[in-house]
Amino acid sequence: MRHVIALDVGGTGMKAALAGADGELLHQARRPTGRARGPEAVVEGILDFAAELRAHGEQHFGEPAAAAGVAVPGIVDPERGLAVYAANLGWRDVPLRDLLAARLGGVPVALGHDVRTGGLAEGRVGAGRGADRFLFVPLGTGIAGAIGIDGRVEAGAHGFAGEIGHVVVRPGGAPCPCGQRGCLERYASAAAVSEAWAAACGDPEADAADCAKAVLSGDPNAVRVWRTAVDALADGLVTALTLLDPRTLIIGGGLAEAGETLFTPLRDAVRRRVTFQKLPEIVPAALGDTAGCLGAGLLAWDLLTSTDRTEESA
pLDDT digits (tens, 9 = 90+) for 157-190: 888 899 999 999 999 999 998 899 999 999 999 9
pLDDT digits (tens, 9 = 90+) for 181-227: 999 999 999 999 999 999 999 999 999 999 999 999 999 999 999 99
What pTM value is reported for the model? 0.90
pLDDT over 80 (residue 301)? yes
How far, in Å, CA of 142 to CA of 151, rounded?
A: 25
Q: Are 302 and 309 in contact (CB under 8 A)?
A: no
pLDDT over 50 (residue 131)? yes
Q: Could you tell me what percent of the chain has a pLDDT over 90?
A: 79
How far, in Å, CA of 301 to CA of 296, rounded?
A: 9
Q: Could you tell me what percent of the chain has a pLDDT over 70?
A: 97
**Which string of DSSP letters, residue by residue, matches 260-314?**
HHHHHHHHHHHHHH-SSSPPPEEEE-SSGGGHHHHHHHHHHHHHHHHHHHHHHH-
pLDDT at 289: 87
pLDDT at 39: 86
Q: Is residue 309 very low, low, confident or very high in pLDDT (cuts 50, 70, 90)?
A: low
CA angle 204–164–9, rounded 5-degree value = 70
Side chain identity at 255, as an amino acid letter?
Answer: L
Q: Is residue 314 very low, low, confident or very high in pLDDT (cuts 50, 70, 90)?
A: very low
Q: In 3D, which of 192, 151, 194, 197 has the Cα closest to residue 170? A: 192
Q: In 3D, which of 117, 17, 103 has the Cα closest to residue 57? A: 17
Helix, strand, or coil (residue 97):
helix
Mean pLDDT of 77-91: 87
Q: How far is CA 141 from CA 94, 111, 144, 220, in A?
A: 24, 22, 10, 25
pLDDT digits (tens, 9 = 90+) for 97-107: 999 999 999 99
pLDDT digits (tens, 9 = 90+) for 227-267: 999 999 999 999 999 999 999 999 999 899 999 999 999 99
Cβ-in-10-Å burial (0-12, 13-18, 19+) of 97 comes to buried
Q: In 3D, which of 199, 206, 203, 208 has the Cα closest to residue 233? A: 208
- Scored b (16 or more CB within 10 A) or e, 246-272 reads bebbbbbbbbbbbeebbbebbbebbee
